[in-house]
Amino acid sequence: MTATTDPSPRRLSLEWLGVAPFILFAVMFLILPTLYLLGAAFVGRDGQLTLDNIAGLFTGQILAAYWISIRVSAASAVLGAVFGLALTLAVIRGRLPAPLRSAVMTFSGVASNFAGVPLAFAFISTLGRLGLVTILLKTLFDIDIYRAGFNILSFWGLTLTYLYFQIPLMILIVAPAVDGLRREWSEAAQTLGASTWQFWRHIGFPVLWPSVLGTLSLLFANAFGAIATAYALTGSSLNIVPILLYAQIRGDALQNPGLGAALALGMVVITACANIVYLVISTRAERWMR
């Protein structure tokens, strides 16, 4: 550690020593566990290499679980992105009072982290059978949302709940991009005779597009891996992939460890695909912008 007179080869090893804990940590707690599951997905009960586990994913309950998960994640990601973008545009470009903007940003920081079990409690108190909104709608307007087919333990109930952390996350991530839309650009467009619609069609949205798309994939992955909210909301009654995997880890519900690993692998493949799609499209979009 007498660094002042270090010859450079020893200093080089010192640098690696500083980075080593990080690399070791990443290997032990990120890379190895994931690779282990990836490997286990291709091993059968008798210890031989097999594709049976992967084929097992495309059957009955598991396929249905993937389908519901993908729909909930996609719906909450798309709606979260649309409403989040609308709110961001309203707050930043809609000439609302400045304090509102910082209030919205602060609240988004809190709400995007207010996920998990407490969020489920909040929505049960709001839209559950005895929830405040449910009862108010019934007594004031004579609208029984449960008789109309709504259920907090359903696809739309879960999507509506997920939006509570998806919208704020969208706001937090897309706000810098919206800030990057300079006033001069819309002024220049106006000077050249462009309508508001033309400005957004040819300048505003093309500039925002990559960050919107990128956040969309992030929101998708965020919802796809989320389990705590869904579990606290519905118990194990809703058949989505994370809940199925939870039951598998808890008590080998599929009665096949290899199939469990394949289930986890499928989740990683889907979230990874979402991110690759983003990378491809955003680099292409950047090339278009030049």
CA distance 199 to 205: 9
Total residues found in the chain within this entry: 290
Helix (H, G, I), strand (E, B) or coil at 43: strand
Q: How far is the CB of 110 from other proteins (least distance, A)?
A: 5
Which residue's CB is nearer to other proteins, number 73 or number 285? 73
Q: Which stretch binds other proteins (CB under 8 A): 47-55, 60-68, 172-180, 263-271?
A: 263-271
DSSP code per residue over 173-189:
HHHHHHHHS-HHHHHHH
Q: Which stretch binds other proteins (CB under 8 A): 58-66, 116-124, 138-146, 177-185?
A: 116-124
Which residue's CB is nearer to other proteins, number 15 or number 179? 15
Candidate list 18, 47, 60, 149; residue touching other proteins; CB under 8 A: 18
First to last CA, the chain: 49
86 binding other proteins? (CB under 8 A) = yes
228 binding other proteins? (CB under 8 A) = yes
106 binding other proteins? (CB under 8 A) = yes
Kindly give, in sequence order, each residue whose CB lies less than 8 Å from that of residue 257, ignoring residues fewer than 6 positions away.
Answer: 40, 45
- Residue in the block written with tokens 């809190």: 110
- The residues in 271-290 that bind other proteins, with binding defined as CB under 8 A, are 271-272, 275
Q: Which stretch binds other proteins (CB under 8 A): 43-51, 142-150, 203-211, 217-225?
A: 217-225
Count of residues that bind other proteins according to CB under 8 A: 87
Alpha-carbon torsion angle 211, 218, 69, 235, nearest 10: -130
